[in-house]
Amino acid sequence: MVKPVTNYVGTYVTMWDRILQDKSMDTWLAMNKWVNDGVPFPGAAFKQWIREFYQQNKLVKGQIFLRGRRVDLSRITCPVLNIAGKRDHICTLPQAEATMRLIGSKDKEFFCPGRWTCRPCDRFRCQEESVASSEKLVRASFKIVKR
């Protein structure tokens, strides 16, 4: 756990705060279910994943192999929408943004709600996004995924 107090104690402080202020629990319940409803992950696989992806950064270095083939992010050519969380402490914004330079697709967008969207082909020339255009971007990306 990267932030054990925030992740564990803070969760229940927020819950009681919402209860005592008679606020809706829908958002809290949905987030709590999402956080605690993970697929069981065998210990050895988890250890390997942490070591290779987080500590050794093998995906970025091109040192990950699946079924005998090297994973090369530059060979990703389909449209990519990379959505990052401004307050995500597991994959920080600089980490999420860095993947954009590694992906080979010509059609790629980086999106962080409440921040901006960047196009690497424009050398990360960023512009403010309104809520309406952010929603349009997300809706358009879901149409791409459905094809």
Q: 0.85 cut: is pTM over it?
A: no
Residues in the chain, pLDDT under 70: 1-8, 114-147
pLDDT tens profile 35-53: 788 788 899 998 999 999 9
**pLDDT at residue 2 in the model:** 60
Distance CA 26, CA 145 (A): 28
CA pair distance 103, 30, nearest whole angstrom: 32
Q: What angle do CA 60, 147, 64 make, to 5 degrees?
A: 20
pLDDT computed for residue 3 by the predictor: 65
pLDDT in tens, 55-78: 999 999 999 999 999 999 999 999
